[in-house]
C-alpha cells in the first residue's frame, strides 16, 4: 500500500486538542448558565456559586485527564 501522508513524533498533541473540545463546551455551558441565572435573579448569585465551581471542576477534570494521559500514552 502506498503511503500518502505520514505523521512523525507524538500524536498526543492532536489527541489532546480533540479531547479539549468537550470540556471546553461543558465549561462554557456552566458559566453561561450561571451568568443567566444571576442576571435573572441577582440575589441567588452567592447561593449558586459553590455549584458553579463543583460543576466546573468535574467537567474540567476531563480536559485534565487529557493532559495527564497525553504524557502517559505519548510513547
Please identify, using beta-carbon distances, which residue of 29 and 47 lies nearer to another protein: 47
Q: How far is it, in rounded angstroms, from Cα 42 to Cα 21?
A: 30
21 binds another protein per the rule CB under 8 A: no
7 binds another protein per the rule CB under 8 A: no
| CA 54 from centroid of its chain's CA atoms | 14
Among 17, 28, 57, 73, binds another protein (CB under 8 A): 57
Please, which of residues 37-56 interact with another protein by CB under 8 A? 50, 53-54, 56
Q: How far is it, in rounded angstroms, from Cα 62 to Cα 16?
A: 11
- Which spans of this chain sit near another protein (rule: CB under 8 A)? 50, 53-54, 56-58, 60-61, 64-65, 67-68, 71
Amino acid at each position: 500500500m502506498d503511503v500518502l501522508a505520514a505523521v512523525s513524533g507524538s500524536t498526543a498533541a492532536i489527541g489532546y486538542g480533540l479531547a479539549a473540545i468537550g470540556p471546553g463546551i461543558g465549561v462554557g455551558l456552566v458559566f453561561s448558565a450561571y451568568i443567566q441565572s444571576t442576571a435573572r435573579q441577582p440575589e441567588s448569585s452567592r447561593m449558586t456559586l459553590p455549584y458553579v465551581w463543583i460543576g466546573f471542576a468535574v467537567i474540567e477534570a476531563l480536559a485534565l485527564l487529557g493532559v495527564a494521559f497525553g504524557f502517559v500514552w505519548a510513547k
